[in-house]
Structure 1
């Protein structure tokens, strides 16, 4: 079974949390029994999370050797110039080494659900949206990449993993994609 879930901001990509006070987890969304995340999304990121009950499928979806592209819409602080976009396309050097090349382009502000809490608005600091497609999945990679080129991330929404897309799925909702 393969499930597409739109993970809301502020939800852990696991079913339990031992911290005090406990944070919201996947357990609160009525997901089918026996599925687990194929990959992760940070607590402060939103969007498409795939869940499955098939270990081989989870491996195919997450192993960088299978090169599943992951597409993100990223709201950044600042106005990206061509040189910054080119740096993202060529790959940037992070503390754990260089990233693979990615696809990066400016994006008109997408029609998304409101985030709770909302992104802090500052009149004196412009922001912009990018679409970034990566083929890796390092810890906080997109945030670290945009910061490395001088564009701190304000909001991060994953909209696709490989051929699987959010396609109008609202936060906290899920749908079954296939029955492997």
Structure 2
């Protein structure tokens, strides 16, 4: 049996999490030339940041499935004014209709911290009359569009969503540029 591969990839905006060609979006194939690896979880095309890929089904399930409680850290740029009731709502869990999210760890990011991120292409919409702010949200579920839906329920439309960490793997520690990937060790999780 071949050795397990685990890759960390800094997924750009507008890239779909599949290797097969897509009519509207760039695919992983345009960035990753390693055969027989598959995404462990997904990031929507309009989300950016850390994506892990592996050739090991057991490891893929450990990373992606909510039952393993592997924390996933997101930096989210939101439209509006930050308020304590919205933060408390996210921290205690949000009723999203089809499920109630587990409590999240939430903190407001200082402006200089969000400067660690690359410029998005295309840039987000900026409205001069409506402020925006950044939050760090850590969840262990990762259901379809969960962070965006949680923020919308708290009253904040999501302008930008970047996954910066999965378990102990952190995009900034890896030093990966946008669209770059590198092999990592399973023990890093």
Q: Which TM-score band (shorter chain)?
A: over 0.9
1:41 Cα deviation (Å)?
Answer: 0.1
Note the alpha carbon deviations across 1:28-74, whole angstroms, 9 max, x for none.
01331111000000000000000001111101111111100000000
Return the alpha-carbon distance in structure 2 between the equivalents of residues 82 and 31 of structure 1. 45
TM-score, normalised relative to structure 2: 0.91
Pairs aligned (count): 178
Q: Would the alpha carbon gap of residues 179 and 97 (structure 1) be closer, same or farther in structure 2, given more than 3 Å must change?
A: closer
Please, which of 138, 150, 157 is the counterpart of residue 133 of structure 1? 138
Instruction: Indicate the residue corresponding to 1:63 in structure 2.
Output: 65
In the TM superposition, residue 22 of structure 1 has moved relative to its aligned partner by 3.9
Give the CA deviation at 1:123: 0.6
Q: How does 1:1-180 map to 2 (within 5 A)?
A: 1-18=5-22, 21-109=23-111, 110-111=114-115, 112-167=117-172, 168-178=175-185
Name the structure with the higher helix share. 2
Alpha-carbon offset, residue 179 of structure 1:
6.9
Over aligned residue pairs, what C-alpha RMSD do you find?
A: 1.3
Q: CA deviation at 1:120?
A: 0.8
After the TM superposition, which of the residue ranges 143-152 and 57-66 deviates more from structure 2?
A: 57-66
Q: Aligned equivalents of 1:179 and 1:8: distance in 2? A: 23
TM-score (norm 1): 0.95
Q: Which runs of 4+ in 1 moved over 6 A?
A: none
Unaligned runs of 5+ in 1: none
- Partner secondary structure for residue 136 of structure 2: strand
Cα distance in 1 between the residues matched to 2:157 and 2:127: 14
C-alpha deviation, 1:121, in angstroms: 1.0
C-alpha separation in 2, matches of 1:67 and 1:31: 30
Counterpart CA distance in 2 for 1:85 and 1:163 is 24
